[in-house]
């Protein structure tokens, strides 16, 4: 009895304390989850731990299935000795327990003098298959009749905490539901103008609304008009553009400012899309905007719709449905649009590669590798084409002009006589060229003007593409460029440079081509070998990184100092890049244009902005580049100290700017504007000495 009484008191006290706890004791934590106070959890767990730790014999002393062991009250009789007599189905009597065993823990069934009843008790006769003997302490007549307990639930030993404490979960669910209902009622009752309602950024069309409730702070961020419009757009905006086109750049910036997604198709990059644009609009003018398959027009139409307020309605109407199949096709990446044609001499070249005796020979006291004799090649051509010697020699000369073969010492293109030649793929420099892939390009060489135009358009598309280059062109994301379709197509274009005829360039085409190629090679070099970090890295970057162009190797140093600077010595060098008799001397210009130094981006922080040029306007673009460079920290003037601070680029190439300090300053004055121009002009007019200080050059990458 002691265990039962204490446990009952403890359980009642726990339940009363739970249900009379104030509501504020239940709360949400900082992450928004419903929390129960620690002392409450202690009560729960203590209560149930105590309950389940008590032996079942104490907790449930009586185990009867009430459904199967019902005894009709009408059939029960109270016998004189205090027992209970079951009905006629089984004359079972329960009497007083033995006086000698009153203090024992177990109870005993009393036997009556009736021999039949005693016999039934000894054999424990069952009624309906169940035992009818009820163990009990002394049953008194004046006490109410005992009621059978509720059936005991069978449980497995692997009970979860949630199953062992169902009342806790039910209580938490009830409390959380009531608390959530209170929040909803509070929010619905909030009215504008009350002390608990605060509006922020009202000018931004209620973009952020803040509700303040005692104990709760709810901040609701409403979608902007552009975001709501974006949710209603299921179709596609298609923008046709070109490289280096001001209207295309403006259209791109318009959609970017509005936060609208679009698919851009640059017809200079995806050339086949230009034919599609011609079929849909009847011209190749850009930009052209399509909402799904409906043509909207150009930049003027787009601005007109925006100013009149009709743009959003037009977008809802035309872009609400999903993009149909009739809409312009999105560009396909990884596929080349241009169809290459094999050179007409490829068949002969392939035959010669297999039939000529190619071997190492000692020629003019030099060991020459992988070469063959000219007469052997002529005989092989005559036999293969079944022609005369004159045609055989003419065919060999065309092969040399197209850079299939070279003289081992560069003495001639091809001459009939005892000379030795080798194929382009066997040249010693070929394996170090980054536009060579295991074999030479045997396609028909493309015109030089086409290659120059194609190169500039691809590079313009890279610098104009959002995210590749910063708006001020001072920072470049080389990693994103390396993953772009434009750069992949540029790499394919470089293979066509292997056998290009550079002699067909006009002076302006040659200047623009090599300026653009230099800047493009710098991007390729940074992606392939990284930024230079020291003297040894500078050598690998500017001397060892090469392309095979027109049959011969060209490094960054060769392009800058030989082709752009009239074959002048590079800084700290004792010899000229091209020696006498070099087959590339025909590329050297007649005079040096100092402006080239402001058009070459070396991939460093102190180098000029990343730019690309057009052949028809290259001079004006170089002048603009020089003015822009001096405008942005390229020069500093201290009038009191009569000192001019210039970029170290001018010191390295001082010969190109006149050599003498006064000549250098007079040249610089031509490209200054504003205050710096006035100061330098005044200082030069005083005829007093002026000191030039060259600023340190920052070789870190322009990332």
DSSP run (H or E) holding 200: strand 197-200
Q: Is 438 left (phi over 0), alpha (psi -120 to 50) or beta?
A: left
Alpha-carbon distance 56 to 61, whole Å?
8
Query: What is the residue-averaged pLDDT of the chain?
Result: 78
Least confident of 33-42, 176-185, 271-280, 442-451: 33-42
Distance of CA 628 to the CA centre of its chain: 33
Q: Which of 537, 524, 444 is nearest to 488 (CA)?
A: 524
Q: What is the DSSP letter of 427?
A: S
Question: What is the pLDDT, as a whole number, of residue 185?
Answer: 61
Residue 172's pLDDT band (cuts 50, 70, 90)? low
Strands (E), 298-404: 359-363, 366-373
Q: Which of 593, 591, 590, 563 is nearest to 576 (CA)?
A: 563
Alpha-carbon distance 622 to 597, whole Å?
9
Alpha-carbon distance 260 to 235, whole Å?
12
Q: How many residues does the chain have?
A: 703
List phi, psi (to 5°) of 193.
100, -15
Residue 44 token pair: 């729960």
Within the chain, how many helices (H) and strands (E) appear? 24, 22
- pLDDT tens sequence across 281-326: 999 899 999 999 999 999 999 999 999 999 988 988 888 888 999 9
Question: What is the pLDDT, as a whole number, of residue 295?
Answer: 94
| Residue 106 half-sphere exposure toward CB, CA atoms < 13 A | 3
Q: Which of 155, 154, 159, 164 is nearest to 65 (CA)?
A: 154
Q: Which of 277, 278, 292 is nearest to 322 (CA)?
A: 292
Q: How large is the angle between the packed helices 507-529 and 448-464, nearest 10 degrees?
A: 50
- pLDDT tens sequence across 44-76: 555 544 444 444 444 444 444 444 444 444 444
Q: Which residue has the higher pLDDT, 174 or 470?
A: 470
Question: What is the pLDDT, as a whole number, of residue 39?
Answer: 52
Report whether 264 contacts 316 (CB < 8 A).
no
Q: How many CB atoms lie within 10 A of CB 151?
A: 12
Question: What is the pLDDT, as a whole number, of residue 10?
Answer: 60
Least confident of 136-140, 355-359, 426-430, 576-580: 136-140
Most confident range (mean pLDDT) of 51-55, 100-104, 467-471 is 467-471
Residue 98's pLDDT band (cuts 50, 70, 90)? very low
Q: What is the 3-state secondary structure (H, E, C) of 249-298?
A: HHHHHHHHHHCCCCEEEECCCCHHHHHHHHHHHCCCCCCEEEECCEEEEC
Least confident of 16-25, 115-124, 229-238, 291-300: 115-124
Question: What is the pLDDT, as a whole number, of residue 463?
Answer: 93
Alpha-carbon distance 298 to 108, whole Å?
105
Q: How many CB atoms lie within 10 A of CB 169?
A: 12
Least confident of 14-23, 478-487, 583-592: 14-23
User: What mean pLDDT is predicted for residues 362-380?
Assistant: 94
Alpha-carbon distance 45 to 176, whole Å?
20
Residue 349 token pair: 């070249």
Question: What is the pLDDT, as a whole number, of residue 2?
Answer: 53
Q: Which of 201, 196, 200 is nearest to 216 (CA)?
A: 196
Cβ partners under 8 Å of residue 265, min gap 6: 238, 239, 240, 241, 273, 277, 328, 330, 331
Question: Domains in the chain, start-ordered, CATH in brackets?
Answer: 225-320 (3.40.30.10), 344-428 (1.10.10.10), 448-623 (no CATH), 624-694 (no CATH)
DSSP run (H or E) holding 645: strand 643-646
Q: Which of 185, 297, 196, 192 is nearest to 237 (CA)?
A: 297
- Identify the bridge partners of residue 208 per DSSP, sorted by sequence position: 200, 221
At residue 521's C-alpha, the angle toward residues 520 and 527, to 5°, is 95
Residue 20 scores a pLDDT above 70: no
Question: What is the pLDDT, as a whole number, of residue 99?
Answer: 42
Residue 666 scores a pLDDT above 50: yes
Q: b/e map of 303-328 (b: 16 or more CB within 10 Å)?
A: eebeeeeebbeebeebbeeebeeebb
- pLDDT tens sequence across 215-264: 666 666 666 666 666 667 788 999 999 999 999 999 999 998 888 889 99
Alpha-carbon distance 490 to 280, whole Å?
28
- Alpha-carbon torsion angle 564, 565, 570, 574, nearest 10: 130
Alpha-carbon distance 620 to 630, whole Å?
16
- pLDDT tens sequence across 636-662: 999 999 999 999 999 999 999 998 999
User: What mean pLDDT is predicted for residues 580-592?
Assistant: 91
Residue 532's pLDDT band (cuts 50, 70, 90)? confident
Residue 93 scores a pLDDT above 90: no
User: What mean pLDDT is predicted for residues 437-457?
Assistant: 91
Least confident of 40-54, 398-412, 487-501: 40-54
User: What mean pLDDT is predicted for residues 508-533?
Assistant: 94
Helix, strand, or coil (residue 63):
coil
Question: What is the pLDDT, as a whole number, of residue 258?
Answer: 85
Give the burial class of 115: count Cβ atoms within 10 A of its Cβ; 0-12 exposed, 13-18 middle, 19 or more buried: exposed
Judge if pTM exceeds 0.85. Answer: no
- pLDDT tens sequence across 417-432: 899 999 999 999 999 9
Q: Which residue has the higher pLDDT, 100 or 349?
A: 349
Question: What is the pLDDT, as a whole number, of residue 537?
Answer: 80
Question: What is the pLDDT, as a whole number, of residue 186?
Answer: 56
Alpha-carbon distance 263 to 273, whole Å?
13
Least confident of 57-66, 365-374, 477-486, 676-685: 57-66
Give percent above pLDDT 70 in the chain.
Answer: 67
Sheet holding 635-638, edge to edge: 635-638, 643-646, 691-694
- pLDDT tens sequence across 326-339: 999 888 888 887 77
Alpha-carbon distance 27 to 34, whole Å?
6
- pLDDT tens sequence across 125-158: 444 444 444 444 444 444 455 555 544 444 444 4
Residue 354's pLDDT band (cuts 50, 70, 90)? very high
Q: What is the DSSP letter of 484?
A: S
Question: What is the pLDDT, as a whole number, of residue 384?
Answer: 94
Report whether 698 contacts 608 (CB < 8 A).
no
- Identify the bridge partners of residue 238 per DSSP, sorted by sequence position: 263, 290
What is the DSSP pairing of strand 643-646 with strand 691-694? parallel
């Amino acid at each position: 009895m002691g265990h039962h009484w204490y446990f009952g008191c403890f359980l009642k006290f726990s339940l009363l304390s739970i249900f009379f706890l104030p509501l504020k004791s239940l709360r949400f934590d900082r992450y928004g989850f419903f929390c129960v106070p620690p002392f409450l959890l202690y009560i729960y767990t203590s209560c149930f731990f105590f309950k389940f730790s008590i032996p079942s014999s104490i907790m449930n002393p009586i185990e009867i299935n009430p459904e199967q062991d019902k005894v009709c009250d009408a059939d029960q009789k109270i016998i004189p000795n205090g027992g209970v007599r079951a009905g006629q189905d089984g004359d079972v009597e329960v009497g007083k327990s033995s006086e000698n065993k009153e203090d024992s823990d177990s109870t005993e069934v009393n036997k009556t003098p009736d021999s039949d009843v005693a016999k039934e008790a000894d054999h424990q006769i069952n009624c309906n298959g169940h035992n009818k003997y009820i163990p009990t302490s002394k049953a008194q007549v004046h006490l109410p009749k005992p009621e059978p307990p509720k059936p005991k639930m069978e449980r497995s030993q692997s009970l979860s905490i949630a199953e062992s404490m169902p009342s806790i979960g039910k209580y938490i669910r009830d409390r959380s539901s009531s608390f959530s209902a209170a929040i909803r009622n509070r929010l619905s009752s909030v009215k504008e103008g009350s002390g608990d309602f605060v509006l922020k950024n009202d000018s931004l069309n209620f973009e952020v609304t803040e509700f303040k409730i005692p104990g709760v702070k709810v901040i609701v961020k409403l979608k902007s008009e552009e975001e709501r419009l974006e949710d209603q757009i299921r179709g596609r905006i298609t923008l046709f553009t070109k490289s280096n086109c001001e209207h295309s750049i403006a259209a791109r910036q318009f959609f970017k400012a509005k936060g609208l997604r679009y698919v851009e198709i640059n017809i200079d990059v995806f050339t086949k899309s230009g034919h599609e644009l011609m079929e849909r609009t009847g011209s190749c003018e850009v930009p052209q905007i399509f909402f799904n398959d409906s043509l909207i027009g150009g930049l003027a139409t787009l601005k007109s719709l925006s100013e009149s307020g009709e743009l959003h309605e037009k977008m809802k109407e035309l872009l609400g449905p999903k993009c149909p199949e009739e809409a312009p096709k999105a560009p396909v990446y990884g596929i080349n649009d241009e169809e290459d044609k094999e050179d007409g001499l490829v068949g002969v070249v392939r035959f010669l590669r297999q039939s000529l005796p190619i071997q190492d020979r000692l020629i003019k006291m030099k060991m020459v590798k992988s070469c063959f004799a000219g007469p052997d090649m002529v005989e092989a051509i005559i036999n293969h084409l079944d022609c005369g010697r004159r045609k055989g020699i003419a065919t060999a000369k065309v092969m040399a002009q197209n850079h299939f073969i070279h003289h081992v010492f560069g003495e001639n293109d091809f001459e009939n006589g005892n000379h030795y030649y080798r194929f382009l793929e066997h040249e010693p420099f070929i394996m170090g060229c980054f536009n060579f892939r295991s074999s030479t390009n045997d396609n028909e060489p493309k015109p030089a003007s086409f290659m120059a135009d194609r190169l500039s358009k691809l590079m313009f598309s890279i610098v104009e593409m959002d995210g590749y280059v910063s708006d001020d062109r001072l920072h470049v994301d080389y990693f994103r460029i390396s993953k772009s379709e434009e750069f992949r197509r540029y790499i394919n274009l470089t293979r066509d440079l292997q056998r290009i005829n550079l002699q067909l360039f006009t002076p302006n085409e040659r200047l623009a081509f090599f300026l653009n190629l230099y800047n493009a090679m710098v991007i390729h070099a940074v992606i392939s070998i990284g930024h230079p970090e020291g003297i040894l890295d500078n050598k690998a970057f500017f001397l060892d990184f090469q392309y095979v162009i027109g049959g011969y190797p060209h490094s960054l140093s060769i392009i800058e100092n030989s082709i752009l600077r009239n074959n002048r010595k590079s800084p700290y060098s004792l010899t000229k890049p091209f020696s006498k008799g070099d087959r590339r001397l025909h590329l050297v210009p007649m005079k040096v244009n100092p402006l080239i130094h402001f058009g070459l981006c070396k991939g460093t922080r102190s180098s000029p902005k990343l730019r690309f040029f057009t052949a028809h306007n290259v001079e004006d673009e170089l002048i603009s580049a020089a003015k822009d460079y001096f405008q942005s920290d390229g020069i500093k003037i201290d009038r009191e100290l009569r000192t001019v601070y210039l970029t170290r680029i001018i010191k390295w190439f001082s010969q190109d700017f006149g050599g003498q300090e006064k000549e250098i300053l007079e040249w610089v004055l031509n490209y200054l504007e504003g205050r710096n121009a006035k100061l330098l002009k005044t200082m030069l007019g005083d005829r007093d000495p002026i000191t030039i200080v060259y600023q340190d050059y920052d070789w870190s990458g322009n990332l």
